[in-house]
Amino acid sequence: MGSYGNVMWQLLVQLLIVWFLVVSIAGLAVGVGLIASSPKMAQYFHVLNRWMSTRHVLKPVEISHDTERMTHRHYRWLAGGFVLGGLISIFGLLAGLDANAVSAAFAQKRFAPVVAIGVESAKWVLIAGSAFGVVVGAMLLFYPNAESMLEKFANQWVSPRRVTRSWDDMHMNLDTLVEAHPRPAGWIIAGTSAAAVICAIIMLVRYY
């Protein structure tokens, strides 16, 4: 498993380097295009600048779904599911998850301690969440009226549209600056992209 994890890690790094190389070549092409033919590149920019509204994507999240009637009707089954699921989760995490084994299987030897700390932390966070689920389930079993008290604090409607309202605004400051000074912008983009291409090629040569 250790060799398999190392191969996957190296493959991931190589894919990231190749992606970096592709993006750098694209930037180099844009820079050369701005230097050689600024009007055509400006037309391409206008075609590619598409406005995508997040409100249409997040609209289903805004729709309220009432599940209180069903939970109130079958609250014992719900509470039993919380208790049973929480206990199974706690037992499985304590008995079946070894952070050191996971880190040794999916990380290189020098990164294994860091990965082990992360896995162990995630393990205890999940155990704490499962224990909380057991407590909530037991409370619903023995104190059914506590569900309504819990719902008063837990049933809070949070609108993602208020948070993402500014995402629908188009910010064209950089495009306006590039269109105002196409050749200097082209030289800057081409120079930085060429340096990035060279760095990506050097990193790929080291891996191969």
Contact 103, 112 (CB under 8 A): yes
Contact 114, 131 (CB under 8 A): no
* Position 84 pLDDT exceeds 70: yes
pLDDT at 26: 92
* Model confidence pLDDT, tens digit, residues 36-78: 887 887 777 777 777 766 666 667 766 666 666 666 677 778 8
* Model confidence pLDDT, tens digit, residues 1-10: 445 556 667 7
pTM: 0.48
Contact 200, 34 (CB under 8 A): no
* Model confidence pLDDT, tens digit, residues 177-187: 888 888 888 89
104 Cβ partners below 8 Å, 6+ apart? 1, 2, 112
42, burial (CB in 10 Å: exposed 0-12, middle 13-18, buried 19+):
middle
pLDDT at 87: 92
* Residue, of 100 and 208, whose pLDDT is higher: 100
* Model confidence pLDDT, tens digit, residues 11-23: 788 888 889 999 9
* Residue, of 177 and 32, whose pLDDT is higher: 32
Reported confidence tier of residue 192, pLDDT bands at 50, 70, 90: very high
- Encoding tokens for residue 18? 């190749």
pLDDT at 1: 46
* Model confidence pLDDT, tens digit, residues 112-170: 777 778 888 888 999 999 999 898 888 878 877 766 676 677 677 766 666 666 666 67
